[in-house]
Amino acid sequence: MKTQGFIFGIALGDAMGVPVEFMSRKHLKTNPVVDLRAFGTHHQPQGTWSDDTSLAFCLVEELIEGFDLLRLGNRFCRWYNDAYWSTHGYIFDVGVSTRNAIDRLQKGVSPLHSGESDEYSNGNGSLMRILPLAYYVKNKSIADRFALVKQVSGITHAHIRSVIGCFFAVEYLIALMKGKEKYEAYLDTQNLVRDYLASLQVKTSELELYNRILFDDITHTPEEEIFSSGYIVHTLESCLWSFLTTTSFADAVLKGINLGDDTDTIGSVTAAWAGYYYGFEAIPQVWVEGMQRKDDIIDLSQRFAQKFF
């Protein structure tokens, strides 16, 4: 049930965050999210997911069929043009870097070169969809794992900062897959990622941006110093902090979402880890029942589990 928890977590955390996306932490302190909501920021029905889940599910479908980067890029274009794996047959949210990259793909640019690569294109648009890749790469060498994360992130977000964030997130899920306790998995991932990036001679200035994740202990950071913007470093910090400082699926997801701002992505990534770690049975049933297309999500999770286990 871990894979079902993982797949369902991606969509559920996203859907819980959609109605309050961009709302401030101060506002959510007085009106916290405690359940699935309807309408709100994007005026969507209860249980509606965003581009985060749609693109993650594009990757899941691709991994079930095999893996081809060009075909994955085509799936992203299919989502953009035809609302593939959307909740209601239309899309209502897309990041600037993702839209620009898909425009390039549609003009025939290779997915190896379609992603934004400047320093200012380091939103969380590849982090939000990268985690299913862990299932495909978990038994490969670390060099191959990094290379594949770089390719899949790079379809839309090719800067090394985005790649580092995605690499850590994937490696952390792989550590959880090995049955490690979540804090032990965090420490092991710290050491592994830090040492590997050093071996690649990644710029010190880039590594220092991830100091609180790679060198410190993110669980010791007070809430007022956890930022929940759409910047990839902030999002990864928020998700790790929310997951590591709670003891249940519900508490992890709600803690992350109630940080405010980029709530759909924080909810989705946090709930993906938590869904795998605690299992599908740990997700409150009322939340499961409140999701749109829940039977389709469960079917996808079963097909994914059959492929990799």
In tens, the pLDDT along 139-164 reads: 999 999 999 999 999 999 999 999 99
Specify the amino acid at residue 192: L
User: And the tokens for 115?
Assistant: 């992603």
Statement: residue 54 has pLDDT above 80: yes
Q: Which whole number is the average pLDDT over 261-290?
A: 98
Distance CA 237, CA 8 (A): 22
Q: What is the pTM of this model?
A: 0.98
Is the Cβ–Cβ distance between 267 and 17 less than 8 Å?
yes
**In the predicted model, what is the mean pLDDT of residues 182-207?**
97
The CATH number of domain 2-308 is 1.10.760.10: no
**Whole-angstrom distance, CA of residue 39 vs CA of residue 95:** 20
pLDDT digits (tens, 9 = 90+) for 6-34: 999 999 999 999 999 999 999 999 999 99
Domains of the chain, by residue range, sit at 2-308
